[in-house]
Structure 1
Amino acid sequence: MDAGGLDPSVIPAVKKRHGADLLYTIPSFHNPTGKLMSEDRKRELIQISKQLSLPVIEDDAYGDLQLDGPPSSPLKAMDREGSILYVGTLSKTVSPGLRIGWVAGPEPVIERLADIKMQTDYGSSSLSQWAAAKWLSSGLYDENLSRIKVELRQRRDEALRCLETYCRGIARWEKPSGGFYIWVTFLKPLSLSALFEQALQKNILINPGTLYDKEAKYSIRLSYSYASLTELRYGIQTIAELAGKLM
């Protein structure tokens, strides 16, 4: 990962070093960094995966949650070889409890996955699938999505204002153009475990960067998706104060 998200140029070396058989990626508003992969990088990734005969799983859980800029197309839209397995979900845009998702890919793969799904849990709830189909076909999904994006944009912008107010000089971050997350990296060393514990004592839950990357020793993932504006202000101000004392 770099400033532009996943760097496709490193894939051959990583595949060779780890003996990887597939690539899992979140090109749109990556969790945890919030980064959006550029169209050029998407084309490069597809070309490299083709050269390496490397299957790709594209997780597009946040793809519908673009808040700024022109709409971004998924990797699957550029796939001409059928090497990308596209995964979508309603958990981020409708309800996490609905447990409805979908997969687009080559027919033999889908048939095998469907067989595994049936053996695992006998398939998803028919009632939930019926409700989701009605929701999508009625136009209510688009109406709900528009409301969610207005709310998310407001919360993201407030989180960014608070970061600028309280964390300027002690951390760096980038404005995400969609999704749920802001990746914050502190400019000086500090103990993330101590920050986590002290924040938890004040009813603030943060995700240390080391949960995602052992090298992200001074980074945290901030989520603006569920907290109110008041909670965001309190949380970011408190995190800044605690981090300042730990540096």
Structure 2
Amino acid sequence: MDEHPADLRGDCEQCVGLCCVALRFAASADFAIDKDAGQPCPELRPDNRCGIHTELRQRGFGGCTVYDCFGAGQKVSQVTFAGRDWRTASRAHARLMFDVFPVVRQLHELLVYLTEAVALPAAGPVRAELRGALDRTERLTRGTPAELGALDVGAHREEVNVLLLRTSELARSGAKGRKKDRRGADLFGARLKGADLNRASLRGACLIAADLTGADLRGADLIGADLRDADLTDADLTGVLFLTQPQVNAARGSAGTRLPASVTRPAHWTA
């Protein structure tokens, strides 16, 4: 089963450049400029394409290369706002579009996690609840602009997270010895070369620039973990839980890095 259906992957051809307009950028190692929410990126062309797409990393926009809207861009553009373009909409209408986009993006991220969770063999005891949460979340994504703008998406995330945490515990229950719980751990720059993190919980852990060369991450829970510039060279992520494409894109790796089928090996990784 494909854990991440096509409609949960960004399709820029069907979007009106929302990520390049709605979101705020802060000048940093990831973005070359400051940009306020609702202000178009100066590199966005009238046809909603990026003018420097092939040179983003070289031009200081590495953050753009790792971003994924999980299909929220085309949903908001083509479904929520029925193909309207923010350029020709009223100011109030455009502002609502920009407000709704991050909400739908969060809902689509939850759909990615829930779709994966439902398919896990170990999820049997909670599969019915997961399917219910999946259906509710999908229905929310199809709300009107006003409904989405008023949605308490944080509260919905908390409800879904309870189920995802239970699913994670079930999937990792076969770990030998004491379970490794590193939830929310500050592992910035940590030296974890060859570490045994098999079925560990790394939910929300900061793994920025961590050395995970050759680490055993099989079956680990990586939901929300920050993998920016983490070195996954020759690491084994077989069966890892809740790993997203943006996380993989933000990390470093090699041809020897073993990844789950739900993500694609980034083109910028070393051969």
After TM superposition, the score normalised by the length of structure 1 is 0.28
Identify, as 1 or 2, the structure richer in strand. Answer: 1
The answer to which structure, 1 or 2, has the higher relative contact order (CA under 8 A, 6+ apart) is 1
